Amino acid sequence: MATTLTAPALSATDRCDRCNAQAYVRVVLPGGTDLLFCGHHWNRHEEVLRPQAVEIVDETHRLVDQPAPVE
């Protein structure tokens, strides 16, 4: 039986590996190593990392989503 690894969703406690800001992107590399990035550092490194990634969890949409109005 084959086992497929799925990267967990990101939480507020996940921190960028470069600057320690809240991480919004998880990149899983071959072999299972994962890297966490804030939006800024993901933009900087995406071009190089995307072709190497096994999986990418990109939650950068949360940076611009507006909360629903409270009635």
Long-range contacts of 4-12 (CB under 8 A, 24+ apart): 5/32, 5/55, 6/55, 7/34, 7/55, 7/57, 8/57, 9/57, 9/59, 10/36, 10/57, 10/59
Q: Rounded to two decimals, what is the model's pTM?
A: 0.79
The pLDDT tens digits for 7-36 are: 778 999 999 999 999 999 999 999 999 999
Structural domain boundaries in the chain: 14-57
pLDDT for residue 65: 62
Each residue's pLDDT tens digit, 29-62: 999 999 999 999 999 999 999 999 999 999 998 8
What is d(CA 56, CA 59) in angstroms, rounded to the nearest whole number? Answer: 10
- 29 touches 5 (CB < 8 A): no
